[in-house]
Amino acid sequence: MLLSARKLCRSFGENQVLFNVDLDLQTGEVHALLGENGAGKSTLVKILAGYLRPTSGEVLVEGSQRHYRSSGEAEADGVVMIHQELALAEQLSVEENIFLGRELRRGLFLDRRAMRERSRAALAELETHVDPSARVKDLSTSDQQMVEIAKAITRDVRVLIMDEPTATLTENEVSVLFALIDRLRQRGVAILYISHKLREIEQIADHVTVLRDGHLVDSGPMAGRSKEELARLMVGREITEMYPPRTRLPDDAPVVLEVRHMVVPGAVKHASFTLRRGEVMGFGGIVGAGRTALIEAVLGLRRKSAGQVLRNGQPVVMRHLRDAVHQRIAYLTEDRKGKGLVLNMDLRSNVTLLNLRAHCHPLIDRRREEQAFQQAVERFDIRLRTAARTVAQLSGGNQQKLLLAKVMSIDPEIVIINEPTRGIDVGTKHQIYHFIRELTDSGCSVILISSEMGELIGLSHRVAVMCAGVLTGVLEGEQINEEEIMQYASGIKGVGGDEQRHG
């Protein structure tokens, strides 16, 4: 056995994320690691690659125990991890990246020729056309991945860990990657492959291990296991009482928003959907499937190359978010700190920033602004510590409520919420779910983009699922369950072509 894990446990504070997980990797096999977001996959591989230390349990390489204190020590053993977000120095050349931090030298000076030769040899072995002297910035994502892999090969890799390598690749690039994985397998490299995409795993995996909530639920050869079975194993838990019952929709609820044939360059190939008054429309799919790009293109935050938006049946043009605000559409971004709130600004100004007009006659009326802020604090139950003056000093949950207060300040009829519960505590989650129910009760419509299955199933009237830039299907009623969503999200069901023919 090349690399093994025995009874690995890991906790972050009081929160245990891995429970007695075993894993065995053999030379020359592709081992798929499956699980939902938060199942503990990343934690597990980070321990194997030396980025994290286990709370208890052992890591063995060829039967002897290892206590990695850094990723460098794991790499010395030939265990290399390629990150989800590629970690290359963009302005440096390919060869400089391949030897970054372990440059070959001749005396005091760099041995550029030797580095170029070895880079070229490694790239040739991967059968890629990447030029060693090209700047990484100018390469496509798949070529950048090749560079990462070349980097691993020059380190005499024996175990290659790939965390969602296809998340940002096109179909063509994926097949190139798979051919490469195949060659690596023939060289005797063991590959630990993390992915949500069951179709891919069926294609390349020899062995599969499924994690759920930090526990190992299944492990064995891929042969004899079906995708459907694996999808069920990945999610297989019941939704708890976390979610309030849905608002009852009248049969004649009018369509308030319709999106037709939306195309966003580089992100969305085809998507059409409708939204009715009082409805919660969930958007499922894995990260990078194009959900955020689709919604942002609808709102005028991104350029679209084709598509039409109808509001209450009338075609509307939204080129800037301000146009969307005029259409009474509010958008809650998934990136609270990067796009949602001004961290070093006071709380009041943050809440009124989107609808500052309402407080201008024509000068800003600070007293009214303060009143509006106080009302928002009450309505959204924002808990202010006396010392908190800027957003950065608030907790994640309170930041999210502040952001909610900000977007609700325009009194919207349609609220688009992107990952509303990312990084917040259970109590606040609960509050946000009930807030969504209140919204739909009062006649608002909600679009809910979420990577948490439970949320989608617990709150949505319908769920649209996207896979690789295509809206593969809209699920209703009994169809809304985790396995079904997972199948559409991984492209097993509802292939984009069908949608396009009918649409």
Chain positions contacting another protein, by CB under 8 A? 301, 320-322, 324-325, 331, 333, 335, 338-345, 349, 353-354, 356-357, 360, 362-364, 366, 386-387, 389-390, 392-393, 406
Q: Are 464 and 284 in contact (CB under 8 A)?
A: yes
For residue 228, the minimal CB distance to another protein (Å) is 39
CB of residue 356 vs another protein: minimum separation in angstroms?
Answer: 5
Min CB(37)–another protein separation in Å: 24
Complex with another protein: residue 198 or 264, whichever CB lies closer: 264
Of residues 55 and 393, the one with the C-beta less far from another protein: 393
Cβ proximity to another protein, 82 vs 416, nearer residue: 416
Q: Which is nearer to another protein, 108 or 387 (CB)?
A: 387
Helix and strand element counts for the chain (H, E): 17, 22
Complete DSSP assignment for 175-232: HHHHHHHHHHHHTT-EEEEE-S-HHHHHHH-SEEEEEETTEEEEEEESTT--HHHHHH
Minimum CB distance to another protein, residue 345 (Å): 6
Contacts for 485 with CB less than 8 Å, ≥ 6 apart: 284, 453, 456, 457, 463, 465, 475
Nearest one of 220, 145, 147, 156 to 189, comparing CA atoms: 156
Helix (H), strand (E), coil (C) string for 33-53:
EECCCCCCHHHHHHHHCCCCC
What's the min distance (Å) between Cβ of 435 and another protein?
20
| Least Å from the CB of residue 463 to another protein | 25
Q: Which is nearer to another protein, 242 or 392 (CB)?
A: 392
Q: Which of 88, 176, 187 is nearest to 128 (CA)?
A: 176
Spatial CA neighbour of 60 closest among 184, 160, 159, 208: 159
Q: Could you give the CA distance from residue 369 to residue 353 in angstroms, rounded to a whole number?
A: 10
Nearest to 404, CA basis, from 316, 336, 498: 336
Closest CA to 432 of 384, 380, 393: 380
Name the residue nearer to another protein (CB basis): 412 or 458: 412
121 versus 353: smaller Cβ distance to another protein: 353
- Enclosing H/E stretch for 287: none
316 vs 345 by CB, closer to another protein: 345
State the minimum distance, in angstroms, from the CB of residue 330 to another protein: 10
Smallest distance, another protein to C-beta of residue 324, A: 7
Nearer to another protein, 98 or 354 (CB): 354
CB of 342 to another protein, least distance (A): 5
Residue number, 67 or 339, with CB nearest to another protein: 339
* 3-state SS, residue 135: strand
List, in order, residues 6 or more apart from 129 with CB less than 8 Å away.
Answer: none
The residues near 458 (Cβ < 8 Å, ≥ 6 apart) are: 239, 242, 243, 433
Structure tokens, 25: 């990797």
Strand partners, 461: none
Crossing angle for the helix pair 482-489 and 227-235, nearest 10 degrees? Answer: 120
Is the four-CA dihedral 238, 244, 248, 249 of positive or negative sign? Answer: negative
Q: Give the shortest CB-409-to-another protein separation in angstroms.
A: 10
Using the minimum distance from each CB to another protein, give the nearer residue, 331 or 380.
331
Q: Would you state the structure tokens that stand for residue 344, as one six-digit string?
A: 């070093």
CB of 379 to another protein, least distance (A): 19
What single letter denotes the amino acid at residue 472? Answer: T
